[in-house]
């Protein structure tokens, strides 16, 4: 479960500054989020005191001025000792000593079904000829709400930054995401922690509150999240963005609400959320003001009313029962639905929930798409795939499976500099991404980091363009499951994709298409 | 006073007319019980809702004074930030949830989960309240003149809860505190403002035991 005990920490004493001059350097102890290193204040000597807690993020190695640290995975133990690995033993000891379960940040680790066992089918002579990525155009635009509201969103590339709250992230990280969205014409999302004032104009590409000086073209969009904790929510908040997203759940902890531990509830966060400084802000797992699906419909109605029928209404789902949940969102009046697979990230969650709850992203998409098709709204109500998206290749596969766009959240944090230490909840992020401490936040320049994020989106956009065109399409709207093949049985079974070599879906999927599954779902794969 | 008849009209038509009409004039709306989200997000004005109101009346209220002459359904004044909502009769489940400010007065009884996640509003119920009332309240005042059900003020974090009657059970993370002179003056002022016949002396005050009861 936990990653503790999975890495070997070694320090080359011949070049370590502290080993040669005790007291002169303590960088590794300062930056390590897990207290692997300890400084003996009496002698000034640094020691690897707690090597079992190393999670392999290698922040210490990156910061070490002498390049003296090496972190190597201790993978064989997972073969020789499984299931009683050192990590499991340590976890049990921890619980026995403290009576507490493990909390951590980021998403699911270890092997879960993913996009890697799906391959893209290129065009050759029998199918439509491939198109030339270098000299021909490709339509990558995604419009949300074009038939339902006065001001639809037109994403210039099929991506969004999914919801990550102020509190979970620093103000500077939120500003960087807004700038990255503005530079690329995509959408950023407030998350459930209220509005960072600057997001409202930075996301649209402006450097001033009055929005008179535009710096970043083409300008992006700001999605306002409405969630179960309702932190910082008012009529003005709802009207400060380009869309409203109703959060039902998220991939990392479906069935639970947002967790922001007291260590990150500073004066600023307290002011926006209305939670006492240092108190844990734990969002409810459900809406207290919703008891039925009709209530959700009424909620959508008054959200449209309060926003003067101008902006799209989006839903965000955790990975539960995609067909039924997506159907409910459609009935409630959604203009777009994000579905977040189990690998989706978080600022804080019980470890067992992140590791053991929810449906993998690749298994969420087919039933979600089928629900849209059965309601006659596929490609009208937009589907946004979230949960462990790493690059344009993952996004392309999600879109070929029927999604209209994809979201990068964990990848966005990594693009900002994150090394995946799983300790977001502690508030000590040395890159200033998930910390609220001024000294950490000062390390993150919103403009420079925003540009890194824009670079990442530009690269992923080009990747999607390459794959779309080599598959013979001029638009991402033409993508279909025919552009993909599963490369092993599990993936074919989870997705219903044709099996490479066999060139058909597995028989159980073909049987499903004949009989349906008794849940309003006929299992058809419309290519 | 301008009168809007909402019979056979949808939410958009009524709220649009309502918002256009409140500039300096009080507006009376009748036949509204089929509408859920009436007077949503209003920033000013005075609205009288004649008869019963549907769910989410005064949701996201941001400054208007809204009075319902009879009963209101669920989620009265949901997520209000300022203004006043007065229910002359009873209110159903979930009155005054998620409010950051403003005042809600229910002259009759109010249902379960009233004042849940109150973050700064004043919520006064002249009659009894149901179960789980005041759950995870973070700021503001909750005043119940009658009795409360199970888990009253459960996981209170901050703010003040006053009760004139009895509770079936009190929630986690709570403690009983003596009423101070300041509390009594505050209650007296509320009662006077909203013409409520009650004496502060008979009330008990509930406060949070800890601001951090979940993770240590």
- Which sequence spans correspond to the domains of chain A? 7-100, 129-478
Indicate if the pLDDT at residue A522 is higher than 70: no
Can you say how many angstroms the Cα of residue A106 is from the centroid of all Cα atoms in its chain? 9
- Looking at per-residue confidence, does A110 or A416 come out higher? A416
Burial (Cβ within 10 Å: 0-12, 13-18, ≥19) of residue A84: exposed
Phi and psi, residue B140, nearest 5°: 95, -175
CA-only gyration radius of chain B, Å:
17
Task: Count chain A–chain B contacts defined by CB atoms under 8 A.
Answer: 95
The pair of three-digit structure tokens given for residue B114, joined into one six-digit string: 């009233």
* CB B116, CB B94: distance < 8 Å: yes
Q: List the single residue in A234, A289, A298 with the smallest CB-CB distance to B100.
A: A234
- Strands (E) across A118-182 are located at 118-120, 142-144, 153-155, 159-160
Indicate if the pLDDT at residue A516 is higher than 60: yes
* CB A455, CB A176: distance < 8 Å: no
In tens, the pLDDT along A85-100 reads 878 888 999 999 999 9
In tens, the pLDDT along A331-352 reads 999 999 999 999 999 999 999 9
pLDDT for res A521: 52
Phi and psi, residue A89, nearest 5°: -60, -45
Say if the Cβ atoms of A288 and B158 lie within 8 Å: no
Q: How far is A37 from chain B (nearest CA, A)?
A: 24
Terminal-to-terminal C-alpha distance of chain B: 56
For the stretch B87-120, what's the b/e string if a residue is b when 16 or more beta carbons lie within 10 angstroms of its beta carbon? bebbbbbbbbbbbbbbbbbbbbbbbbbbbbbbbb
* CB A159, CB A408: distance < 8 Å: yes
Q: Which residues contact residue A432 at a Cβ distance below 8 angstroms, ignoring those fewer than 6 apart?
A: A170, A172, A173, A440, A441, A442, A443, A444
**Nearest alpha carbon to residue A337 among A320, A349, A354, A357:** A320
Say if the Cβ atoms of B43 and A309 lie within 8 Å: no
**Nearest alpha carbon to residue A185 among A160, A214, A212:** A160
Indicate if the pLDDT at residue A129 is higher than 90: yes
Mean pLDDT throughout B110-115? 98
* CB B72, CB B96: distance < 8 Å: no
What is the total residue count of chain A?
527
Say if the Cβ atoms of A275 and B136 lie within 8 Å: no
Can you say how many angstroms the Cα of residue A10 is from the centroid of all Cα atoms in its chain? 32
In tens, the pLDDT along A29-71 reads 999 999 999 999 899 999 998 888 888 899 999 999 999 999 9
Indicate if the pLDDT at residue A524 is higher than 50: no
Indicate if the pLDDT at residue A469 is higher than 90: yes
Distance CA A323, CA A450 (A): 36
Indicate if the pLDDT at residue A178 is higher than 80: yes
Residue in chain A lying closest to B212 (CA) = A279
Q: How far is B161 from chain A (nearest CA, A)?
A: 17
Say if the Cβ atoms of B93 and A291 lie within 8 Å: yes
pLDDT for res A1: 41
Q: Hey, how many other C-beta atoms are within 10 angstroms of the C-beta on A489?
A: 12
Side-chain-facing half-sphere of B32: CA atoms under 13 Å: 35
* CB A325, CB A319: distance < 8 Å: no
List helix spans (H) across A472-525: 489-495, 507-515
Say if the Cβ atoms of A301 and B214 lie within 8 Å: no
Terminal-to-terminal C-alpha distance of chain A: 39
**B62 close contact with A: CB closer than 8 A:** yes
Residue in chain A lying closest to B34 (CA) = A298
**B158 close contact with A: CB closer than 8 A:** yes
Q: How far is A95 from chain B (nearest CA, A)?
A: 15
Mean pLDDT throughout A138-165? 97
Averaged pLDDT of chain A: 93
Mean pLDDT throughout B159-173? 97
Distance CA B102, CA B115 (A): 12
Give A331's DSSP letter. H
Chain A residues with CB under 8 Å of a chain B CB are 103, 229-230, 233-236, 238, 261-262, 274-276, 278-280, 282, 284, 288-289, 291, 295, 298-299, 301-302, 304-306, 309
Residues of B numbered 1-20 whose beta carbons fall under 8 angstroms of chain A's beta carbons: which are they? 11-12, 15
The pair of three-digit structure tokens given for residue A527, joined into one six-digit string: 């290519």
A40-44, A184-188, A477-481, B53-57: which range is least confident on average? Answer: A40-44
Would you identify the CATH topology of the domain A129-478?
A: TIM Barrel (3.20.20)
Indicate if the pLDDT at residue A226 is higher than 60: yes
pLDDT for res A3: 55
pLDDT for res A80: 64
**Nearest alpha carbon to residue A14 among A50, A63, A68, A58:** A68
Q: What architecture does CATH give domain A7-100?
A: 2-Layer Sandwich (3.30)
Indicate if the pLDDT at residue A194 is higher than 70: yes
Distance CA A402, CA A511 (A): 21
Which of the four pLDDT bands, split at 50, 70 and 90, describes residue A4?
low
Indicate if the pLDDT at residue A520 is higher than 70: no
Indicate if the pLDDT at residue A177 is higher than 50: yes
Q: Which residues contact residue B12 at a Cβ distance below 8 angstroms, ignoring those fewer than 6 apart?
A: A304, A305, A309
Which of B104, B134, B215, B216 should we substitute to test contact with A (largest number of A Cβ atoms within 10 Å)?
A: B215
Phi and psi, residue A459, nearest 5°: -65, -45
* CB A62, CB A424: distance < 8 Å: no
In this prediction the pTM is: 0.92
Distance CA B213, CA B138 (A): 13
Q: Which residues contact residue A127 at a Cβ distance below 8 angstroms, ignoring those fewer than 6 apart?
A: A472
Which of A258, A271, A288, A347 should we substitute to test contact with B (largest number of B Cβ atoms within 10 Å)?
A: A288
* CB B162, CB B125: distance < 8 Å: no
In tens, the pLDDT along A397-452 reads 999 999 999 999 999 999 999 999 999 999 999 999 999 999 999 999 999 999 99
Say if the Cβ atoms of A103 and B113 lie within 8 Å: no
Distance CA A211, CA A204 (A): 8
Distance CA A354, CA A332 (A): 28
User: Does the fold of domain A129-478 match that of domain A7-100?
Assistant: no
* CB B200, CB B124: distance < 8 Å: no
Distance CA B114, CA B76 (A): 9
Indicate if the pLDDT at residue B112 is higher than 70: yes
**Nearest alpha carbon to residue A222 among A204, A234, A208:** A204
Q: Which residues contact residue A505 at a Cβ distance below 8 angstroms, ignoring those fewer than 6 apart?
A: A492, A496, A497, A498, A499, A525
pLDDT for res A51: 80
* CB A307, CB A117: distance < 8 Å: no
Phi and psi, residue A335, nearest 5°: -95, -25
Which of the four pLDDT bands, split at 50, 70 and 90, describes residue A283?
very high
The pair of three-digit structure tokens given for residue A161, joined into one six-digit string: 């930054």
**Cα–Cα distances in angstroms (integers) from residue A181 to residues A217, A450, B15, in the given order:** 10, 8, 34
**Nearest alpha carbon to residue A472 among A213, A124, A226, A5:** A124
**B41 close contact with A: CB closer than 8 A:** yes
Distance CA A405, CA A153 (A): 13
Q: List the single residue in B11, B117, B138 with the smallest CB-CB distance to A305.
A: B11
* CB B111, CB B123: distance < 8 Å: no
Say if the Cβ atoms of B138 and A278 lie within 8 Å: no
CB contacts of A284 in chain B (<8 Å) are 117, 136
């Amino acid at each position: 479960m936990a990653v503790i005990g999975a890495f070997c920490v070694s320090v080359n004493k011949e070049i370590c500054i502290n080993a040669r001059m005790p007291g002169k350097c303590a960088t590794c102890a300062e930056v390590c989020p897990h207290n692997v290193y300890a400084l003996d204040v009496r002698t000034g000597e640094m020691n690897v005191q707690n090597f079992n807690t190393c999670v392999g993020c290698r922040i210490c190695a990156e910061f070490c001025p002498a390049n003296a640290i090496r972190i190597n995975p201790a993978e064989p133990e997972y073969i020789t000792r499984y299931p009683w690995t050192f990590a499991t033993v340590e976890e049990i000891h921890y619980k026995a000593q403290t009576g507490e379960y493990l909390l951590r940040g980021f998403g699911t680790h270890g092997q879960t079904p993913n996009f890697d066992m799906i391959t893209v089918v290129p065009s050759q002579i029998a199918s439509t000829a491939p198109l030339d990525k270098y000299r021909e155009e490709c339509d990558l635009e995604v419009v949300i709400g074009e038939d339902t509201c006065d001001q639809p969103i037109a994403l210039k590339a099929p991506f969004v930054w999914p919801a990550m709250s102020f509190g979970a992230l620093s103000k500077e990280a939120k500003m960087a995401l807004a700038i990255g969205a503005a530079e690329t014409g995509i959408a950023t999302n407030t998350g459930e922690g209220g509005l960072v004032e600057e997001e409202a104009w930075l996301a649209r590409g402006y450097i001033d509150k009055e929005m008179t000086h535009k710096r970043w073209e083409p300008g992006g969009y700001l999605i306002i999240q409405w969630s179960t904790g309702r932190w910082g929510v008012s009529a003005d908040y709802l009207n400060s963005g380009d869309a409203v997203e109703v959060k039902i759940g998220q991939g990392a902890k479906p069935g639970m609400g947002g967790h922001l531990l007291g260590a990150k509830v500073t004066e600023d966060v307290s002011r926006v959320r209305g939670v006492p400084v240092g108190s844990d802000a734990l969002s409810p797992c459900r809406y207290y003001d919703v008891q039925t699906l009709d209530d959700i419909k009424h909620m959508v109605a008054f959200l449209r009313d309060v926003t003067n029928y101008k902006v799209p209404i989006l839903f965000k789902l955790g990975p539960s029962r995609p067909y039924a949940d997506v159907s409910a969102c459609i009935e409630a009046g959604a203009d777009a639905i994000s579905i977040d697979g189990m690998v989706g990230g978080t600022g804080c969650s019980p470890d067992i929930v992140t590791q053991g709850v929810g449906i993998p992203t690749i298994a969420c998409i087919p039933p979600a798409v089928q629900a849209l098709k059965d309601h006659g709204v596929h490609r009208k109500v937009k589907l946004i795939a979230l949960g462990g998206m790493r690059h344009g290749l993952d996004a392309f596969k999600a879109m070929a499976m029927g999604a209209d766009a994809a979201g990068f959240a964990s990848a966005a944090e990594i693009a900002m500099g994150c090394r995946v230490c799983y300790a977001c909840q502690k508030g000590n992020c040395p890159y200033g991404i998930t910390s609220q401490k001024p000294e950490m936040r000062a390390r993150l320049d919103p403009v420079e980091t925003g540009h890194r994020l824009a670079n990442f989106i530009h690269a992923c956009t080009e990747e999607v363009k390459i794959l779309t065109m080599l598959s013979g399409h001029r638009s991402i709207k033409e993508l279909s499951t025919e552009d993909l093949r599963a490369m092993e049985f599990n993936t074919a079974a989870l997705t219903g994709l044709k099996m490479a070599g066999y060139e058909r879906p597995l028989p159980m999927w073909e049987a499903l298409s004949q009989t349906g599954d008794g849940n309003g779902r006929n299992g058809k794969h419309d290519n | 006073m301008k009168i809007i008849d909402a019979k056979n009209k949808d939410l958009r038509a009524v709220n649009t007319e309502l918002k256009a009409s409140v500039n300096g004039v009080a507006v009376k709306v009748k036949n509204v019980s089929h509408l859920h989200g009436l007077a949503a997000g209003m920033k000013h004005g005075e609205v009288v809702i004649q008869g019963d109101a549907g769910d989410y009346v005064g949701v996201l209220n941001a400054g208007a004074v809204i009075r319902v002459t009879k009963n209101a359904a669920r989620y009265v004044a949901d997520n209000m930030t300022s203004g006043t909502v007065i229910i002359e009769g009873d209110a159903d489940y979930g009155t005054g949830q998620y409010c950051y400010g403003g005042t809600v007065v229910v002259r009759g009884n109010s249902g379960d989960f009233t004042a849940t996640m109150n973050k700064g509003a004043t919520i006064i119920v002249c009659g009894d309240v149901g179960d789980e009332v005041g759950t995870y309240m973070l700021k503001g005042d909750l005043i119940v003149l009658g009795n409360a059900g199970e888990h009253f003020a459960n996981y209170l974090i901050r703010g003040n809860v006053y009760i004139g009657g009895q509770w079936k059970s009190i929630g986690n993370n709570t403690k009983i505190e003596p009423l101070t002179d300041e509390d009594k003056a505050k209650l007296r002022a509320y009662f006077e403002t909203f013409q409520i016949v009650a004496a502060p002396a008979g009330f008990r005050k509930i406060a949070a035991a800890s601001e951090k009861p979940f993770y240590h």
